[in-house]
Amino acid sequence: MKKILVTGALGQIGTELVAALRARYGRRQVVASDIRMPSREEIADGPFEHLDCTRQLQLQEVVTRHRVDAIFHLAALLSAVAEEKPQVAWEVNLGSLYRVLELARQQECAVFTPSSIGAFGPTTPKVRTPQDTIQRPTTMYGVTKVAGELLCDYYFHRFGVDARGLRFPGLISHAAPPGGGTTDYAVEIFYEAIRHRRYTCFLRPDTRLDMMYMPDAIRAAIELMEADAARLEHRNAFNVTAMSITPEELAAAIAEEIPGFTVSYRVDPVRQAIADSWPDSIDDGAARREWGWRPEYDLKRLTRDMIAHLRPKLEAAG
């Protein structure tokens, strides 16, 4: 990877991925892009392009002008937003991926695309969900993720496009807010714990889902893209996880650091139904075997690090 384009770069993952890629490959080598306009500080960090990934000509112009040879394609609508706007989600999530893969075929680029635990559905084995298993999701988000996994496989087998990807669990981070997913509670809870010592959670206390701290997720994406292709049996849509937790377990971990913190529950039926259709825990054995994946943050370490970063940030913001 000599010249990298990141789409959806102003989102929860892109904000930290762009910084990590620039630290590793050089500031000028990583072009950030988004349909939104960045702040002054974000622009000052390195090259930025205003880019709608559903527009083939815009994509083509940016990739050609910057001589891009690897695309981290993050532009998408997350699960809850996708359920509100399924038609837009189809076009953004799948339409843009198709355009990115077509461009990668023509310009010989490598592609990274995140899939999700949302690619599974209610008929998938719920505990230690295998790498290769039933995938019949009941959300538009999941439909676009499964179709996207298949499209990446197709472009590799049919055209030799080096398309790799991970099935991310819910991601917890302090740098940028989440974009409207079902796992957003696991970020919101930290903000509210620090500000008010209480939080009203939109999922039931016993809703078990896989989660991961953002530094692990960023490292996973870069390690997969740098992995020896000869070792990759799956190449794409690897299960990865760091922990499988419920809101009440996360709340208990936070209460150890912030005494007096309490949580109440007001369940949002739409997001609860989405969460209930996803696995409790996924098996990431294939990622461990094929490219050496290992998470570094467990629940305790994540909780301490989140609070250590968020507290001064929120205090400074008043």
Using CA atoms, how far apart are residues 97 and 53, in angstroms rounded to an integer? 8
DSSP bridge pairs for 256: none
Residue 96 backbone dihedrals phi, psi, to 5 degrees: -70, -35
CB of 117 to ligand SER, least distance (A): 6
Smallest Cα–Cα separation from 176: which of 74, 280, 59?
74
Using CA atoms, how far apart are residues 112 and 120, in angstroms rounded to an integer? 20
CB of 197 to ligand NAD, least distance (A): 25
Residue carrying structure tokens 């953002």: 214
135-174 footprint of ligand NAD as x/- string (CB under 6 A):
---------------------------------x-xx---
Residues 68 to 87 in contact with ligand SER, rule: CB under 6 A: 78-79
Using CA atoms, how far apart are residues 297 and 95, in angstroms rounded to an integer? 34
Q: Which of these is catalytic: 98, 141, 185, 199? A: 141
38-77 footprint of ligand NAD as x/- string (CB under 6 A):
-------------xxxx-------------------xxx-
Using CA atoms, how far apart are residues 159 and 254, in angstroms rounded to an integer? 48
Q: Is position 7 an interface residue for ligand NAD (rule: CB under 6 A)?
A: yes
Residues 104 to 163 in contact with ligand SER, rule: CB under 6 A: 116-118
Residues 78 to 137 in contact with ligand NAD, rule: CB under 6 A: 78, 92, 96, 114, 116
DSSP label of 211: E
Active site residue 141: yes
Q: From ligand SER, ligand NAD, none, which one binds at residue 182 (CB under 5 to 8 Å depending on kind)?
A: ligand SER
Which one of residues 181, 247, 279, 295 is an interface residue with ligand SER (CB under 6 A)? 181
Q: Is position 239 an interface residue for ligand SER (rule: CB under 6 A)?
A: no
Beta strands 243-245 and 209-213, pairing class: antiparallel
Q: Is position 253 an interface residue for ligand NAD (rule: CB under 6 A)?
A: no
Q: Is position 183 an interface residue for ligand SER (rule: CB under 6 A)?
A: yes
Using CA atoms, how far apart are residues 170 and 265, in angstroms rounded to an integer? 19
Q: Is 216 helix (H, G, I), strand (E, B) or coil?
A: helix
Q: Enter the tokens of residue 198.
A: 């209480």
Q: Is position 182 an interface residue for ligand SER (rule: CB under 6 A)?
A: yes
Residue carrying structure tokens 């509210």: 192
CB of 62 to ligand SER, least distance (A): 26
The catalytic site residues sit at: 141
Residues lying near ligand SER in the complex (CB under 6 A): 78-79, 116-118, 170, 181-183
